[in-house]
Structure 1
Amino acid sequence: MSRATGRFTILHLSDVHATESGLLYGAVDGIARLERVGDYARATGITPEVVVITGDLVERGNPGAYAAVADACRRLGTRLGAPVLTVLGNHDDPVAARALPGHESGHVSAERVDGVRVIRLDSHRGELDAAQLEWLTDELAIPAERGTVVALHHAPIGSPLPTLRSQGLSNADALLAVLEGSDVRAILAGHFHHGLSAQLRGIPVFVGPSLAYHQVMDAGPDAVAGHDSPMFSLVQLSDDGVVASTVALHAPRPLFTRTLTHARQEATHVP
């Protein structure tokens, strides 16, 4: 599909925060929201080459939720006909997470999908250890056919929110030093619960919003506020570059509805 259209599509999900029982904050069912992403993709005709989930798969203290998350990832992959790759976040338990597909023997890997290399890194401690950085250096020494995408939980940049400003990857400079000049076309991350894009040393960085709850920017300098507004991202690679779009699972009340013909006329200023 990506070679025919010229676009390699990544369904980028993050921060599921699944629980063993009950609803997170009395409202959030992480497993159900994974299912809804599949519903949305099927209904809209989105056909991703790969699904990437950038960490916090379960809520801290809920190791028993990994079995349900694993099953949900398998179902999502089957429905969309695409591999589902996951990385660990600060809420994740690296031992219990071995129940997840692809984590049985470790949490770091390089996967090839239609010529694109997707590298999974483990930043559940908020940093990348020396062994990972050494492995990454060796892996990137040979370029992939269509470039590389790096996925990890902690972005190599801080959030503009005062309370999250220091919550990025603690050794971001070490990671960027390894990636600079390589074939890496994008870095995908999560953790902030709000979308963020940047360009660091020539590499686009996309922080995906959360499926669990959205962090608003006006909570004040000493607070964070989670709103029930689950979102995910579409990231597309092409020969011209890379773009990312945010998709909300909860639809706000529409202000208007117009036909496609009317919308096109307005866009081209046709009276």
Structure 2
Amino acid sequence: MSAAGATLVQLTDTHLLNGGALLHGRIDTWARTTAALNAAARFFPDAVLVTGDISDRGAQVYSRAAKLFEQAERELGCPVIVVPGNHDPAGSVGAAFNRKRLASGPNPADTVHLVDGLRIIGLDTHGFRETEGRLSGRQLQWLLAVLKTPAPRGTVLALHHPPIDSLLPALAGRGLARPEELAAVLAGSDVRGILCGHYHLPATGSLGGIPVWIGPAVSYNHDLFASEGSTRGLDPSWFSVIKVGAGQLSATPVQVAIPVAAFTREVPVPARQPALL
């Protein structure tokens, strides 16, 4: 970490598949994830955050993914901090991940890391095959206890489901349930920012005055001009560079420099039915 603060690289929604399978029949998500990790070296990160949906629809990729992230830790010289998303079954982000954690919470992926005085807390927001994400009462009590002791350079939260809604109508109501409970825990704390994924669309907001950054996806991103009642995926791959300095937090989306096939895919979203996005 420099005197100016910490540099964090955020990857989200990698949607890895078994073998040589391609996402939607055309996207090599392993190649994109590897390319994003390689590109991260350009920014000399103090930590890499992977904010959920490691696999696509529960594909059993976790052993291979853990090895990839462990290799990235060695090559980048920084921790890779991983939380699960709604495509990741309960317990899938376990002991093979987050090897540099200082402490764990009620779930295996609830972790505490300290990077030169900046505390990074990962939270499992559950939601596998559910419409919304959630934090349990035990998790909120654990988080409250951790935050009672301020970190030297403050705290950043990493979770999958955003505590704010999406601009895309098809994603409305699919973020974190009861965000006011999280806001109450964070009130008066040293939390500097909340980093999320899930929407496949970059966005900013705030929760109780704390900045929220929703990172664009490594796999594909959503088109805001899709027809009503559907979502449409666009091909470009992105990650984020987060700067956390004295009283400041900035987030910059970075496009992965890989060949891009211009494609779209219509995905109908049935009314009142849970969907894995």
Q: Do these two structures clear the TM 0.5 threshold for a shared fold by scoring above it?
A: yes
Question: Of 222, 227, 237, which residue of structure 2 is paired with 1:220?
Answer: 227
Which string of whole-angstrom CA distances, capped at 9 and with x for unpartnered residues, describes residues 58-96 of structure 1?
A: 011312x11111111112111211100000100001233
CA distance in 2 between partners of 1:149 and 1:178 (Å): 14
CA distance in 1 between partners of 2:88 and 2:220 (Å): 17
- Does the 8 A contact of 2:36 with 2:218 survive in 1? no
Gaps of 5+ in 2: 128-132, 261-277
Gaps of 5+ in 1: 254-271
Q: How many residues align?
A: 248
Question: Of 137, 154, 163, which residue of structure 2 is paired with 1:147?
Answer: 154
Question: Deviation of residue 190 (structure 1)?
Answer: 0.4
Question: Of 50, 56, 59, which residue of structure 1 is paired with 2:56?
Answer: 59
Report what 1:113 is aligned to: 115
Deviates more, 1:206-215 or 1:89-98: 89-98
Report what 1:75 is aligned to: 71
Alignment partner of 1:86: what SS? strand
Report what 2:275 is aligned to: none
Question: Of 1, 6, 9, which residue of structure 2 is paired with 1:8?
Answer: 6
| Greater percentage in helix | 1
Alignment partner of 1:198: what SS? strand
Question: Deviation of residue 39 (structure 1)?
Answer: 2.5
- Does the 8 A contact of 1:16 with 1:211 survive in 2? yes
Map 1:150-165; keep pairs closer than 5 Å.
150-165=157-172
Q: Which residue identity lines up with residue 212 of structure 1 in the other structure? A: S
Report what 1:202 is aligned to: 209
CA distance in 2 between partners of 1:95 and 1:205 (Å): 26
Question: Deviation of residue 251 (structure 1)?
Answer: 6.6
CA distance in 2 between partners of 1:111 and 1:251 (Å): 31
Report what 1:122 is aligned to: 124
Alignment partner of 1:9: what SS? strand
Report what 1:260 is aligned to: none
Report what 1:187 is aligned to: 194
Map 1:170-181; keep pairs closer than 5 Å.
170-181=177-188
- Does the 8 A contact of 2:91 with 2:108 survive in 1? no
The structure-2 alpha-carbon separation of the partners of 1:122 and 1:79, relative to structure 1 and needing over 3 Å to count, comes to: same
Query: CA-atom RMSD, angstroms?
Result: 1.8
CA distance in 2 between partners of 1:99 and 1:33 (Å): 25
Q: Which residue identity lines up with residue 134 of structure 1 in the other structure? A: Q
Question: Which of structures 1 and 2 has the bigger CA Rg?
Answer: 1
TM-score by length of 2: 0.85
Alignment partner of 2:93: what SS? helix
Which string of whole-angstrom CA distances, capped at 9 and with x for unpartnered residues, describes residues 204-230 of structure 1?
A: 100011111111111122111111111
CA distance in 2 between partners of 1:244 and 1:107 (Å): 24
Question: Deviation of residue 31 (structure 1)?
Answer: 2.2
CA distance in 1 between partners of 2:216 and 2:95 (Å): 25
Question: Deviation of residue 29 (structure 1)?
Answer: 2.4
TM-score by length of 1: 0.87
Which string of whole-angstrom CA distances, capped at 9 and with x for unpartnered residues, describes residues 173-211 of structure 1?
A: 101111121100000000000101112221010001111
Report what 1:236 is aligned to: 243
CA distance in 1 between partners of 2:259 and 2:87 (Å): 30
Deviates more, 1:232-241 or 1:181-190: 232-241
CA distance in 2 between partners of 1:140 and 1:240 (Å): 18
Question: Deviation of residue 28 (structure 1)?
Answer: 2.1
Report what 1:269 is aligned to: none
- Percent identity between matched residues is 38
